[in-house]
Amino acid sequence: MDEQMIKVCRNILEKCMALKEHETFLVVTDETKEELARPIYEAGKQMGAESMLTLMKDRIRSGEEPPDAIAEAMKAADVAVCITQCSLTHTKARKEAVAAGTRLATMPGISKDMFMNGAITADYHEVEQLTYKMKNILDQGNNVVINKNGYSFSFSIKGRASIPSTGVYVHPGKSGNLPSGEAFIAPVEGTANGQLYIDGSVVGVGKLDQPMILTVEKGRLVNAEGEHSDKLLSILGDGLGRSVAEFGIGTNKSARITGNVLEDEKVYKTVHIAFGSNLTFGGTVEAGVHIDCVFNQPDVLIDDQKTIDKGEMKF
């Protein structure tokens, strides 16, 4: 086994998860990512934790629930790391595990390169500071407008609380992605209208060579134009999957646009809009799918104040 990978994984478990000797440590993986999951399982074992590795078949789409037995194991663990091809971040299994006190990190679609380079190497103290500053602004806001390349998109966040995903999950019931660096919130259902110019990446599609133009009316995606737009619509389906679910802002200055949304949505100077489920972070939609769309250097106004200017945070 790659000793350098195990060393990196030990560093992650120590600094980001505060894994301690004799704690129960669960690694959830699937057939696609099993090879990457084994080094972090081995790292936990070397640290003296009661390490367990659970293998399931690949999920079909991000947001699909894991088997019930794995969901129960997630609730029972002190620390859980989910290294899977499709994301378990926006599942009831993750939400219930966190409610039970599990410290939990999801690493959907992670690659060996992402373990060793880019966002994972960030100064997570800086990431944490930026993320909480952005969270505080979102929590006080009511209305958001996103402008890019002549396209405008607006929605309400009134009464909604944002989620800080800092990459540091050292207290019971804390969770988020690894690598991380974003603040995100569930827009009020039915309030989103306008058009989005997506030029970064899209879950299920990857890094974009040509932009997509997405049209939303009353909180629902009604049209998508551009290369791979048919694939996006197919993944979302015709039902609740087309609901505007999330608005997120990247806060990790070491992250790169790679085509893997786990890293892409953390890139500083990007924001993302997701469609599908948001029940697990303050919304009301449970769609069985959650698809993020990342774009670069927009202007963002919160309650008519320009909070982000061509991607740069103005605070």
Question: Of 63, 83, 116, which residue sits at a domain end?
Answer: 116
Residues 104 and 144 in one domain: no
Residues 267 and 177 in one domain: yes
Give per-residue pLDDT as tens, 282-301.
Answer: 999 999 999 999 999 999 99
What is the domain-level CATH number for residue 36?
3.40.1830.10
Domain tally for the chain? 2
Residues 93 and 37 in one domain: yes
pLDDT at position 1, please? 72
Residues 32 and 104 in one domain: yes
Question: Of 66, 101, 116, which residue sits at a domain end?
Answer: 116
pLDDT at position 84, please? 97
Residues 82 and 139 in one domain: no
Residues 88 and 180 in one domain: no
Give per-residue pLDDT as tens, 115-160.
Answer: 899 999 898 889 999 999 999 999 999 999 999 999 999 999 999 9
Residues 82 and 18 in one domain: yes
Residues 126 and 76 in one domain: no
All residues at 6 or more sequence positions from 69 whose CB lies less than 8 Å from its CB, including other chains? none
Residues 220 and 308 in one domain: yes
Q: What is the reported pTM? A: 0.85
Residues of the chain with pLDDT under 50: none
Residues 291 and 210 in one domain: yes
Is the omega angle on the peptide bond into residue 179 within 30 degrees of 0, that is, cis? yes
pLDDT at position 315, please? 81
Residue 268's domain comprises 121-313
Q: Round the average pLDDT of the chain to a whole number and report it.
A: 96
Residues 98 and 154 in one domain: no
Residues 140 and 257 in one domain: yes
The 312-313 sheet, strands edge to edge: 220-225, 212-217, 193-198, 151-156, 143-148, 299-302, 305-309, 312-313
Question: Of 89, 116, 143, which residue sits at a domain end?
Answer: 116
Cα distance between residue 237 and residue 168, in whole Å: 34
